[in-house]
Amino acid sequence: AAFMFNASAVYHTFRCVSSRLASTLLQIDIMGIGVMISGSYVPPIWMGFMCLQKWRALYLSLSVAILILSAVLSLDLMPHQYRTAALTGLVVVGLVPATHWAVAMPESVALHLGWRLLLMFACYGGGVFFFVTYFPERAMPQGHITDIWFNSHTIWHIFVCAAAVSLWINCEVMRDWYRDGKTMNSC
Q: What is the pLDDT of residues 147-167, one digit of tens each?
A: 677 788 888 889 999 999 998
Find out whether 120 and 173 touch, Cβ atoms under 8 Å: no
Of the chain, the percentage scoring pLDDT greater than 70 comes to 93
**What is the pTM assigned to this prediction?**
0.80
pLDDT at 39 over 80: yes
pLDDT at 185 over 70: no
Residues 6+ apart with CB under 8 A from 60: 42, 45, 46
Q: How many residues are listed for the chain in this entry?
A: 187
Lowest average pLDDT, out of 76-80, 93-97, 106-110, 117-121, goes to 76-80
Query: Per-residue pLDDT averaged across 24-38, rounded?
Result: 84
Query: Per-residue pLDDT averaged across 170-175, rounded?
Result: 87
Find out whether 184 and 48 touch, Cβ atoms under 8 Å: yes
pLDDT of residue 184: 57
Query: Per-residue pLDDT averaged across 75-84, rounded?
Result: 74
pLDDT at 124 over 60: yes
pLDDT of residue 116: 87
pLDDT at 127 over 80: yes
